[in-house]
Amino acid sequence: MEVEVKFKAYDGVENRIKQIAEFVIEKLEEDLYFNHPCRDFKESDEALRVRKDKEGIKVTYKGAKVDKETKSREEIKLKVDDYNKAIKLFEKLGFKAVREVVKLRKIYRIGDAIICYDKVKGLGKFVEIEIEIEGKANFEIAKQKVFEIAKQLGFDSKNSIRKSYLELLEEKNRV
């Protein structure tokens, strides 16, 4: 399970991140999201994507959010070796490509948490803080940790964004 919070970045936040966390990697992530042929992932609050970056190619399923304060959800990741074949497989099974989300991501680590400083094409800059856990036993502890890190970076938990980048882009394009 991924325990995650997201905030709109403010000027200077990356410097604050560098003060408390260790830089890991910078990479361009290209995500292609799909919708299920028999149920609407927008309605079920699920997501299925194929991601390509310099570390490889992954297929990721994300379940519905588990609480009202965070973006926490079940996450299943699978490495694949061919981006185009993964897309073709989903299309053959009836899945429809919905939208591409492209971002330049800088990843930092603090303890068991990851801080991502993202520049999302068409949206702007964001900060995501996440901890991966097994099961729900440590959910509340992990949630407390991500909000503590957010507070160290100057974010107020009331300003947490629960929508995915896909949802934010879809919303922006409807306006």
Give the domains, in start order, of the chain with CATH numbers: 2-174 (2.40.320.10)
- State both tokens at 137: 């036993």
Query: Distance (Å, rounded) from C-alpha 75 to C-alpha 64?
Result: 10
Q: What is the pLDDT of residue 91?
A: 97
Residues 6+ apart with CB under 8 A from 161: 6, 7, 8, 71, 126, 168
pTM of this prediction? 0.94
Instruction: Please identify every residue annotated as catalytic.
Output: 33
Pairing between β-strand 124-132 and β-strand 113-120 as defined by DSSP bridges: antiparallel
pLDDT at 136 (0 to 100): 77
pLDDT of residue 173: 83
Given this model, what pLDDT does residue 175 score?
Answer: 64
- In this prediction, residue 134 carries a pLDDT of 87
The pLDDT, as a whole number, for residue 6 is 98
Which residues of the chain fall below pLDDT 50? none
3-state secondary structure at position 74: strand
Sequence-separated (6 or more) residues with CB below 8 Å from residue 92: none
Residue 79's Cβ-count burial label (10 Å; 0-12, 13-18, 19+) is: exposed
